[in-house]
Amino acid sequence: MSKKELKTALEAMGQKSFRASQVYEWLWQKNALSFEEMTNLSKPLRDQLENEFFIDHISLDEQQVSADRTIKCAFNVGVGKVVEGVLIPTDSSMTACISSQVGCSLACKFCATGKLKLLKNLSAGEIVDQVVHLMRLSESRYDQRLSNIVYMGMGEPLLNYKNVLESIDKITSPEGLGMSPKRITISTAGLAKQIQKLGDDEVKFNLALSLHAANDVKRDKIMSINETNNLAVLADALRHFYRKTGTRVTYEYIVFRDFNDELEDAHELAAFCKIIPCKVNIIEYNPIDDGEFQQADTAKVDRFAAYLEERNIIVNIRRSRGKDIDAACGQLANKNEVVDERVMK
């Protein structure tokens, strides 16, 4: 419920309007899991709320810790529906990787989640709950505050546009978690209309585009979304986004052996990088069960990155974390459950 809806409901119960602000603060800033925790409300009011309302929060089903300290959490978001969130610690940051959908409809060939059917969009509350859990885990286990949030878990965030943006509003609001939008990144497979809409909405958070090939023929082979959102269409949308927001875009580029790891591919990527100010994250591939793609040779990856850097492009090589618990990029899909409906990202 919005604060306005809370105010209307509480006034109908004969309560003063300021009670709505108190309840709202408990829900979104203090993240209460029960009405009993709302200790600045009278006991009769807490009992009345308990009788007439419920707090619908996600619950933790399973937790795994990697040798590199990465923690993967499986969250129950309804009967037969589970998503995963990942806490990724490094020497300089503590990042929460969260999901926006149960499953995914885009079926990118290199992604385990893409092999699962889409079961539902997560609500704003279910998205925020993942952040809250990982935030508390970061503080209790590693004594560090959460520094970054990336919408790079299960699902395509821009196909759940309204709920994703509402979740970010709750995360960044002073009445919510109060995190800076500049510490939040949404990753998309490339939906041009929604990228344009982000620009029109003048969002303050960061945008990452899962590119993986700056060549339509190659991108068509691994990402079916490119058939309707090709590179020329994406380029126009990105120009619009940058013109409206002034925010540098990140291109994510997984390097696959003998597919997109040659200097010719780097040349095409460098040309695409001229469209707007950007940076490139080169990501090592994490093989999934079908074995269709393989990780590129380290020497080739380094040569690829050097080619871009020589052309004054900002490049980061991302080494995967959490591989031993299937928590790395592209690996989020429950391997231990027989039924599709129990999805672990």
Rounded CA separation 59/78 (Å): 9
> Which residue type sits at 174?
P
Beta strands 148-151; 184-188: pairing state: parallel
329 catalytic residue (yes or no): yes
Catalytic residue among 25, 37, 84, 284: 84
| Long-range CB contacts (within 8 A, 24+) of 234-237 | 234/190, 234/192, 234/195, 234/209, 235/272, 235/275, 236/192, 237/192, 237/193, 237/195, 237/196, 237/199
Residue 246 C-alpha from the chain's centroid: 21
> φ and ψ at 101, to 5 degrees?
-140, 160
End-to-end Cα distance, the chain: 28
Q: What is the DSSP letter of 177?
A: T
- Distances in whole angstroms, Cα of residue 171 to Cα of each of 44, 149, 190: 31, 10, 24
242 CB contacts (<8 Å, ≥6 apart)?
Answer: 199, 248, 249, 276, 277
Rounded CA separation 185/117 (Å): 24
Catalytic residue among 73, 104, 273, 329: 329
- Distances in whole angstroms, Cα of residue 126 to Cα of each of 70, 82, 84, 156, 195: 21, 11, 12, 15, 23
Rounded CA separation 275/179 (Å): 30
Residue 215 C-alpha from the chain's centroid: 25
- Size (the chain), residues: 345
Structure tokens at 269: 């990527």
Residue 270 C-alpha from the chain's centroid: 26
The residues assigned a catalytic role are 84, 329
